Structure 1
Amino acid sequence: MNKAQRDMIFSQATKWIYEAGEQIRKQIHNPLTIDTKSNANDLVTEMDRSTEAFLANNIKSTFTDHFILSEEGYGDQLDSMNGIVWIIDPIDGTMNFVHQKRNFAISIGIFNNGIGEIGLIYNVMEDVLYSAKRGEGAYKNNKKLPQLHHDILFQEAIVSMNHFWLCENRLVDEKWMQKLVKDVRGSRTYGSAALEFAFVAEGIIDSYLTLSLSPWDYAAGMVIINEVGGVTTTIDGDPLDMLSKTSVASGNPCIQEKIIANYIKKARK
């Protein structure tokens, strides 16, 4: 993908994500039809579906040779990342959307033959867009984000992780993760993976850890974090498979290396 093509696709994607966000804000207080998917905490609403349909229809009518990987069923069945692939989460943080009417985002990552070219994360209710084009830096609205500082002290780091890390589970020994929470300055959980990636890129948290995310949860954030000098891997430090659900560790490299080596590897069962 050359620069002119990337700029044109970025312009279209930005226009559509703002339009989708405006529609959500207009309808935010309308009665919701809420369904569950894999479990009682895995929610989906008609707004998720209509937002994804809006984005998918625009993409397919404008870029007929592009592919879509998405959460709510409007995408393609893909077995490779060949070509240009839009990876979409129409509402990341649906539980926040339902219960709080805030703290959720629209997430779009655009990849070309497996390489992240564009990342967009739109904090809808705050009207804040985090964006990146490969090789051109990352932005919060129109302000360029600085590179992450690599001299941060571990004991001053803030780590974002949900409560599953700290409870008994089959993947990690929770005692090591409880030690991590004690050893860093603080821990947070925001309920939206996309926003947590954005906050890492902004430098207001230093690491984000999760045991299981789908590609539409991490695609855009991965592109944005790359542009500020951050890293995104599995919790074992391996590259991500963009077609699979996986564990994710993303953040400031100097913090991430210590977390994986000194806590996660010791916690892995």
Structure 2
Amino acid sequence: MVNWMEIDQQVKMWIMEAGSSIRESFQHSLSIQTKSNPNDLVTNIDKETERFFISNIRKTYPGHFILGEEGQGDELASLEGIVWIIDPIDGTMNFIHQQRHFAISIGIYENGIGRLGYIYDVAHDELYYAERGNGAYMNGVRLPALTEVPVEKALIAINATWLVKNRYFDEKKLVSLASRVRGTRSYGSAALELAYVASGRLEGYLTMRLSPWDFAAGKVLVEEVGGVVTNLWGQELDMMKTNSVFAGAPGFHKKILTDFLLKK
């Protein structure tokens, strides 16, 4: 039988240790490399932080599997068993340029079901975490259930680049939505934007393309406060592939899907 309470305490200890090391790195120069394109960056801190988590997981939970952004985990064909889905620094560009608005993101899944989720805003020392069936918290304070907010009073997160012509979705629908809500924001970290939805700082978050390590933890958080996380067509996310993502409170999520995203 899995002792989720024990795992929860262990993960929090590792996150705090990793966060402290990242803050210390602010005083040192970074080694920066590009990945798929010039704006897809990875630093030595990303790699070192992922190695830190992987090493500890391998030693403490040798029967578990790891899916990590920087490629140091396992080659997985499914989420069978217990799988840790890790993004050591979500928002690397923010980390490089601003040393804020980035997060450690860890989702722990059992046979494809999200059991634990952690998003740690390193610069602000805010730890969002959730256990399936036991609610979501920020620094020990339980987050309340999400309530529906009218579209005209909603604040949503969406990257401005998606409001111009793109090959993923009808941008006219997104522009129509952006013009109706109270305001839009873009923080440059999917993990934080999902945490902000879970904590009520945002009513919704929409994006065209995220990998599992970008949304695995946030999905657990949002769902634990009654929110809904799907793709932009209202379908379940594929935890093994890149997805579009739309997260929000249940009533708000349904209204946006009906009145904007799925409207002919």
Q: What range is the shorter-chain TM-score in?
A: over 0.9
- Kindly state the Cα deviation for residue 40 of structure 1 after the two structures are TM-superposed: 1.1
The one-letter amino acid paired with 1:53 is: R
User: How many Å separate the matches in 2 of 1:237 and 1:173?
Assistant: 15
- Kindly state the Cα deviation for residue 178 of structure 1 after the two structures are TM-superposed: 1.2
Residues 190-232 of structure 1: CA deviation (Å, up to 9, x unaligned): 0000000000000010000010000000000000111100010
Unaligned runs of 5+ in 1: none
User: How many Å separate the matches in 2 of 1:233 and 1:164?
Assistant: 21
- The answer to whether the 8 Å contact 2:67/2:86 transfers is yes
Q: Which residue of 2 aligns with 1:110?
A: 108
Q: Which residue of 1 aligns with 2:34?
A: 36
User: How many Å separate the matches in 2 of 1:175 and 1:239?
Assistant: 23
Q: Which residue of 1 aligns with 2:131?
A: 133
- The answer to whether the 8 Å contact 2:209/2:242 transfers is yes
The one-letter amino acid paired with 1:85 is: V
SS of alignment partner, residue 84 of structure 2: strand
The one-letter amino acid paired with 1:147 is: A
Structure 1 residues 29-38 or 47-56, which shifts more? 29-38
Are positions 1:94 and 2:92 aligned together? Answer: yes
Residues 142-183 of structure 1: CA deviation (Å, up to 9, x unaligned): 100000013x21211111110222111122232221111111
Q: Which residue of 2 aligns with 1:239?
A: 236
Are positions 1:121 and 2:127 aligned together? Answer: no
Match of 1:209 among 200, 206, 209: 206
Residues 31-90 of structure 1: CA deviation (Å, up to 9, x unaligned): 111111111111100000000000000000100000000100111000011100000000
Q: Which residue of 1 aligns with 2:257?
A: 260
Q: Which residue of 1 aligns with 2:218?
A: 221
- The answer to whether the 8 Å contact 1:161/1:210 transfers is yes
User: How many Å separate the matches in 1 of 2:171 and 2:132?
Assistant: 37
* Paired residues, number: 264
User: How many Å separate the matches in 2 of 1:129 and 1:67?
Assistant: 23
Are positions 1:27 and 2:32 aligned together? Answer: no
User: How many Å separate the matches in 1 of 2:54 and 2:6?
Assistant: 17
The one-letter amino acid paired with 1:178 is: V
- Kindly state the Cα deviation for residue 233 of structure 1 after the two structures are TM-superposed: 0.6
Listed as ranges, the matches of 1:60-71 within 5 Å are 60-71=58-69
In the superposition, the TM-score normalised over structure 1's length comes to 0.96
Q: Which residue of 2 aligns with 1:230?
A: 227
- Kindly state the Cα deviation for residue 29 of structure 1 after the two structures are TM-superposed: 2.6
User: How many Å separate the matches in 1 of 2:170 and 2:30?
Assistant: 39
- Kindly state the Cα deviation for residue 254 of structure 1 after the two structures are TM-superposed: 1.3
Residues 232-268 of structure 1: CA deviation (Å, up to 9, x unaligned): 011111111111111111111111112222222248x
Structure 1 residues 218-227 or 251-260, which shifts more? 251-260
Q: Which residue of 2 aligns with 1:14?
A: 12
SS of alignment partner, residue 73 of structure 1: coil
User: How many Å separate the matches in 2 of 1:118 and 1:145?
Assistant: 15
- The answer to whether the 8 Å contact 1:194/1:220 transfers is yes
The one-letter amino acid paired with 1:157 is: A
In the superposition, the TM-score normalised over structure 2's length comes to 0.98
Listed as ranges, the matches of 1:134-213 within 5 Å are 134-150=132-148, 152-213=149-210
SS of alignment partner, residue 101 of structure 1: coil
- The answer to whether the 8 Å contact 1:172/1:264 transfers is no
User: How many Å separate the matches in 1 of 2:239 and 2:171?
Assistant: 27
The one-letter amino acid paired with 2:187 is: Y
- The answer to whether the 8 Å contact 2:169/2:208 transfers is no
